[in-house]
Amino acid sequence: MPFWKRLSRPFACGLAALIGFSGIAPVDAAVRDAPQSFSADYAVSIFGLTVARSRFTSHISDRDFQLEGSISSAGIATFFDDTKATTAASGRFSKGTTVPDAYSVSYTYGNKAKKTTLDFKGGSVAKVTNVPPLEKRGADWVPVSAKDLVAVTDPISAVLVRAPSLDRVCRRTIKVFDGEMRADLKLSPVGTGPVDLGAYRGEAAVCSGRFVPVAGYRPGNKSIRYLRDRSQIRITFAQLGQTGVYAPVHATVSTRIGTVTFLARRLEAAQ
């Protein structure tokens, strides 16, 4: 399993490596309707050392979105696990919520390659494809049922948040499925703080998060138990340009091996 999956698998459902875009804001209707494109670079670090980098491009209108990106190991992590991945997601905004249509992620590490694709219908998972197929699990595994896949999002669309105001960004539970694991990330407001990222300069919403595994996991797993019972999760969302969309630009997650930090290094309008 690649390094970024080992570090983030239990909470990737909620954080999606901070690559989704979200929100609503009082902007002119003509501006909202016109599709806008943005590019962003993120870094993942632990113990102050960068272990991964990602680059994403988003195309957002008031009605729908498309996201494409790449993730790769970096720094000292390349000595132990050279991983490269590409991912994409698309969907719609409907009645104040994010409704995904399709999601895919392909990654290679060493001489191994894996791919997961999700197809959605009406906001629920209609088809799951894992290549190669998932390994058979033991009797202590919590299986994913059909009801677990109703009204959920993929790991990329997971952090697209529609809210009537900045102080409502964090008042929600994000329900996510990544092709194997189903989990909730329960967000609560902490406050606001200033952000200056070029594409946005102003106040940002700061949320605390609580990780709740639902299915597709082993209850005895120590890492998952730590994330569920002890982990401290903090996420900052900032508005993206004039889209009325908020993007997660910073997050910290405490794990059994240390605190993992996700940070936007660059966020700007793409030409």
pLDDT by residue for the chain (271 residues), tens only, comes to: 544 444 444 344 334 434 333 322 333 333 445 677 878 888 888 888 888 888 888 888 888 889 898 988 887 656 556 788 999 999 988 876 789 999 999 988 878 899 999 999 988 999 999 999 999 999 999 999 999 999 999 998 887 777 777 888 898 898 999 999 999 999 999 999 888 876 567 889 999 999 999 999 999 999 999 999 999 999 998 876 666 667 788 999 999 889 999 888 877 776 5
SS (H, E, C) 170-205: CCEEEEEECCCCEEEEEEEEEEEEEEECECCEEEEE
Q: pLDDT tens digits, residue range 9-59?
A: 434 433 443 433 332 233 333 344 567 787 888 888 888 888 888 888 888
User: CA of 205: how far to CAs of 14, 53, 84, 250, in Å?
Assistant: 16, 24, 31, 11
**Domain boundaries, position 27:** 3-269
Residues 148, 215: Cα–Cα separation, whole Å: 8
pLDDT number for residue 96: 65
pLDDT number for residue 271: 59
CB 129 within 8 A of CB 137: no
Of the chain, the end-to-end C-alpha distance in Å amounts to 36
Nearest CA-CA partner of 200 in 244, 156, 252 = 244
A 10 A CB-CB count for 26 gives: 8
pLDDT number for residue 83: 83
Q: Which pair of structure tokens corresponds to residue 71? A: 């993730």
User: CA of 116: how far to CAs of 15, 58, 178, in Å?
Assistant: 18, 20, 8
* Sign of the Cα pseudo-torsion (243, 246, 247, 250, in order): positive
Contact partners, residue 176, CB within 8 Å, separation at least 6 = 13, 14, 16, 152, 153, 154, 155, 158, 182, 183, 184, 185
pLDDT number for residue 32: 47
Structural domain count, the chain: 1
Residues 271, 262: Cα–Cα separation, whole Å: 25
A 10 A CB-CB count for 152 gives: 24
A 10 A CB-CB count for 213 gives: 21
Q: pLDDT tens digits, residue range 189-199?
A: 999 988 887 65
A 10 A CB-CB count for 249 gives: 23
Contact partners, residue 188, CB within 8 Å, separation at least 6 = 170, 171, 207, 208, 209, 210
Nearest CA-CA partner of 28 in 269, 242, 246 = 242
Residues 207, 22: Cα–Cα separation, whole Å: 14
